[in-house]
Structure 1
Amino acid sequence: MPRLVTERADVLPLLAEVFREHGYEGASLQLISQATGLGKGSLYHFFPGGKAEMAAAVLAEIDDWFERELYAPLRAAEDESVAAAIDAMFAAVDAYFRGGGRVCLVGALALGAARDRFGTAIASYFARWVGALADALQRTGCDTTTATALAEATVAGIQGALVLTRALDDPAVFRRTLQALRERLQPGNPADAGNAGNAGR
């Protein structure tokens, strides 16, 4: 039974799951109506711009969550607390993606035809994640090139682990990948100097 929806904010988590499961193109108004329990009139009351406005609102909510829980803490961490902020980032990622069981909607949209429609929001999500992590890594002593390469490899690794976890239906893949990425970002890890330069190639 669909949960009671009384405000626009109540609809967004339900819409996100429809887009995750069916993609932007496959998320018909019928599917959205079934998932939210709202008729077409109510949906357009909340989202006059139709499905495009629904997806944009979902992306904005995801962006707000990542800004609050990941990017801002990474940017705000002082030198001595950067390692803890990076650990907190991995914990937040694990929780948000439910141990690899939840599709990254932004990543999914980046691979589909909706990429052109939502390109700015998609690019911002990934660029700000890489940027915030790279800035934090520089405060641990990494040079700019190394920090950027490590940040790019980390975000790419998380995204790839989500795909592989889903393809193999094996949550252990996600856990192992997060652990390996976390270890690679530890200060003094030999991979920092030896492999970071090739991480983004």
Structure 2
Amino acid sequence: MKDRAALLPILGEVFRTHGYEGASLALITEATGLGKGSLYHFFPGGKKQMAEEVLAEIDGWFEANIFAPLRDPSDPRIAIAAMLSGVDDYFRSGHRVCLVGVIALGHARDEFAVQVNDYFARWQDSLAVALRCCGLSAVVARRRAEDAVLSIQGALVLARARGDSAVFTRTLSELKTRLLAA
């Protein structure tokens, strides 16, 4: 029997592929190899609990690998480069959609509004901190951070829609220059 931690990445991929609404119990049982009883043993709150825990896992990864390093004032330029590299790795160079974005665009958005808003707000706020440490004004830093998150998310959507991951790779490459421009 799998443990809860091993199930979260599998569940995440089911939600990424089918959205929260489309992730039926049949699809979840097929992907995990577990029956309904076992799934409810691990997640008594059902599909909603599964999604909450997957979102919490994603949030934890981004907090440790992206957000916290951006808030560290020791070397903001390295933190920004690491953010872009980490985002490229996490989204598999544009081949993996953003589950938080999928939920934000779906009918379940309101159910997960706090988690979705918090994820995007902390990303933007953390990046703005790094940009401020690079000498940008608060207004410019905030605007560039917003543009960066927008560009990354938009590039993921466009790469997926066009079947062209180079869109994502190009965006990340150009973003570093745009973020740190005088």
> TM-score category by the smaller chain?
over 0.9
Deviations 1:98-142 (A, max 9, x none): 000001000010011110000000000000000000011001111
1:179 paired residue number? 173
Deviations 1:80-103 (A, max 9, x none): x11011000000000000000001
Please, what TM-score do these two structures have when normalized by structure 2? 0.98
Question: Pairwise mapping of residues 144-155 of structure 1 onto structure 2 (< 5 A)?
Answer: 144-155=138-149
Question: Pairwise mapping of residues 50-69 of structure 1 onto structure 2 (< 5 A)?
Answer: 50-69=46-65
Three-state SS of the structure 2 residue aligned to 1:117 is helix
Alpha-carbon offset, residue 76 of structure 1: 1.4
Q: Give the letter for the 1:74 counterpart.
A: L
Deviations 1:34-56 (A, max 9, x none): 00000000000000000000000
1:167 paired residue number? 161
Q: Give the letter for the 1:119 counterpart.
A: A
Pair member with larger Rg? 1
2:135 to 116, 124, 141: 141
Please, what TM-score do these two structures have when normalized by structure 1? 0.89
**Partner Cα distance (2:128, 2:51) in 1:** 29
**Partner Cα distance (2:123, 2:57) in 1:** 15
**Partner Cα distance (2:70, 2:50) in 1:** 29
Alpha-carbon offset, residue 153 of structure 1: 0.2
2:81 to 66, 78, 87: 87
**Partner Cα distance (2:32, 2:73) in 1:** 39
Alpha-carbon offset, residue 6 of structure 1: 2.0
1:23 to 19, 25, 49: 19
**Partner Cα distance (1:77, 1:96) in 2:** 23
Task: Please list every run of 5 or more consecutive structure 2 residues that lacks an aligned counterpart in the other structure.
Answer: none
1:128 to 122, 134, 143: 122
1:77 paired residue number? 73
Structure with the higher helix share, 1 or 2: 2
1:38 paired residue number? 34
**Partner Cα distance (2:169, 2:46) in 1:** 37
Three-state SS of the structure 1 residue aligned to 2:111 is coil
**Partner Cα distance (1:9, 1:112) in 2:** 25
